[in-house]
Amino acid sequence: MPFRTIIEPFRIHSTQAIQHTTPEQREAALVRAGYNLFGLHGDEVLIDLLTDSGTGTMSSRQWAAMMDADESYAGSRSFYRFQDVISGITGLKEVIPTHQGRAAERILFSVLVKPGQVVPNNTHFDTTRANIEYCGAEARDIVIPEGRVPAAKHPFKGNTDVAALEATIKEVGRERVPLVMVTVTNNSGGGQPVSIANVRAVRAVCDRYGIPLYLDACRFAENAYFIKLREPGYADKTPRAIARELFALADGCTMSAKKDGLANIGGFLAMNDPDVARQCRNLLILTEGFPTYGGLAGYDLEAVATGLEEALDEDYLKYRLRSTAYLAEKAEQAGVPVVQPPGGHAVYLDARALLPRVPPAHYPAQALAVELYRVGGVRGVEIGSVMFGRRQADGRETPAPLELVRLAVPRRTYTQSHIDYVAEVIAEVARRKDRVTGYRIVEQAPWLRHFTARFEPI
């Protein structure tokens, strides 16, 4: 290859204006929102790295497919295309559309999980954990030890600790483990990939105890490309073939198509067991819709079907992982440690390392996220003790193992100069780090408090 620059494998076909705000406007917005960045209006944010979920840019092919969608209530042609594409990629037989990932989770756990049971996962995403806990069960994270250390380098930091999995099953008893999950890539642990070899080892344990294995497949395409780059024996395989091999190890999956479905909304549940599928469809009809649309418009089904195919394009994946790594390099150059190696969809700033004077009880990652917005209108999200701290009966909190700020990169949306700007903002915050103070929570909900909590500076 004569040129080393990895380019965006697309040209921009339609633009959307973004606007600067003044420091005074941002301060007023922070006060109004109770220092919770979820409370900001989109127009108050310049570069929005809150999430890579549903925030990407669709392709002209997706828009074209949407125009030709079939909006039949039952038996829509768009559903059959959706089903064919998903079965083609995953090999799973039963495909159930849902409006997004957490709807798939809620339905699956309502069918499989009983109170008092334990669901192991490399690391549960917050909605996954909350939906399991809502069923009265325990969500247990058993990622490998390297996955908990931000600076530790490991090619597959999202891998499950297979010995811990087996120990968990022995400890709680096989009948109390209704399913095992593996999240690809491991979002809450830094967007880290999982190797095929590791999933195979997890599968072997599941087989030994007769426990079904489900993937949380939100970022399966990014995970497949990491496997191609890092796992011996996969360099010459296509992302599609690798994804197929990964799914072949599972009994089913939950999926948010707002990630590697390259769509603004959508998701699905897929599995091989027809009896589980039947029970899931019954619940789907109750709250989401008829099984051939599951809460989505026909055009959403088309957007997802086309998006899933595009997400497996090799040029796209090469650009995708490279642009995220570029942001990580820039953040480190600006003096902010990041989770290493960088994940596929996001860069995770290590707030504990940057702000050692802010104790976990004062939410250092929340403080860093607020400061990035205050300084430059950049919105990230706290992934630390606000999101994962555990409240004890006496009101005290056990802090989360990591205090991170996630800067998630929407797919096909920002250019390199946007990212260069973000790096300047990070550098400015690093310069002010001795002046950054923590926060206390003044209002919170019993579940998923990070979405609506209100804070006060300490």
Ranges within 265-284 binding ligand F0G (CB under 6 A):
267
Give least dist CB 229 to ligand F0G, A. Answer: 21
Ranges within 103-142 binding ligand F0G (CB under 6 A):
125, 127-128
Give least dist CB 102 to ligand F0G, A. Answer: 3
Nearer to ligand F0G, 100 or 160 (CB): 100
Nearer to ligand F0G, 164 or 448 (CB): 448
Give the dihedral sign, CA 271/274/280/285: positive
Nearer to ligand F0G, 243 or 408 (CB): 408
- Using CB under 6 A as the binding rule, whether residue 183 contacts ligand F0G is answered as yes
Give least dist CB 75 to ligand F0G, A. Answer: 25
Give least dist CB 84 to ligand F0G, A. Answer: 22
Amino acid at 142: I
- Using CB under 6 A as the binding rule, whether residue 226 contacts ligand F0G is answered as no
Ranges within 235-264 binding ligand F0G (CB under 6 A):
256, 258
Out of 101, 190, 252, 342, which residue is the one contacting ligand F0G (CB under 6 A)?
101
- Using CB under 6 A as the binding rule, whether residue 168 contacts ligand F0G is answered as no
- Using CB under 6 A as the binding rule, whether residue 187 contacts ligand F0G is answered as yes
Nearer to ligand F0G, 267 or 342 (CB): 267
Nearer to ligand F0G, 140 or 433 (CB): 140
Give least dist CB 147 to ligand F0G, A. Answer: 14
Nearer to ligand F0G, 166 or 268 (CB): 268
H/E stretch holding 414: none
Residue whose pair of structure tokens reads 């899933």 in the numeric block: 308
- Using CB under 6 A as the binding rule, whether residue 100 contacts ligand F0G is answered as yes
CB 334 within 8 A of CB 423: yes
Please identify the residue of the shown chain whose CB is closest to the bound ligand F0G: 101
- Using CB under 6 A as the binding rule, whether residue 192 contacts ligand F0G is answered as no
- Segment interacting with ligand F0G (CB under 6 A) among 82-90, 99-107, 220-228, 245-253: 99-107
- Using CB under 6 A as the binding rule, whether residue 98 contacts ligand F0G is answered as no
Nearer to ligand F0G, 83 or 256 (CB): 256
Quickly list DSSP for 269-338: EEES-HHHHHHHHHHHHHHT--TTTTT--HHHHHHHHHHHHHHT-HHHHHHHHHHHHHHHHHHHHTT--B
Distance CA 39, CA 338 (A): 26
Q: How many residues of this chain interact with ligand F0G, rule: CB under 6 A?
A: 16
Residue whose pair of structure tokens reads 């948010």 in the numeric block: 256
Nearer to ligand F0G, 101 or 344 (CB): 101
Specify the pairing of strand 94-98 against strand 267-271. antiparallel
Torsion angle, alpha carbons of 296, 112, 138, 193, to 10: -60
Give least dist CB 366 to ligand F0G, A. Answer: 16
Ordered strands of the 94-98 beta sheet: 94-98, 267-271, 252-256, 213-216, 180-183, 118-121, 138-141
CB neighbours of residue 223 within 10 Å: 32
Phi, psi of 397 (to 5 degrees): -120, 140
- Using CB under 6 A as the binding rule, whether residue 102 contacts ligand F0G is answered as yes
CA distances from 19 to 22, 42, 44, 370 (A): 10, 10, 8, 19
Distance CA 99, CA 108 (A): 14
CB neighbours of residue 282 within 10 Å: 12
Distance CA 366, CA 440 (A): 10
Nearer to ligand F0G, 102 or 411 (CB): 102
Out of 36, 51, 90, 192, which residue is the one contacting ligand F0G (CB under 6 A)?
51
Look up residue 162 and give its two tokens.
Answer: 């297979």
- Segment interacting with ligand F0G (CB under 6 A) among 96-104, 112-120, 325-333, 425-433: 96-104
Nearer to ligand F0G, 141 or 216 (CB): 216
Distance CA 171, CA 103 (A): 30
Nearer to ligand F0G, 317 or 381 (CB): 381
Give the dihedral sign, CA 197/202/207/213: negative
Interface with ligand F0G (CB under 6 A): 51, 53, 100-102, 125, 127-128, 183, 187, 216, 218, 256, 258, 267, 408
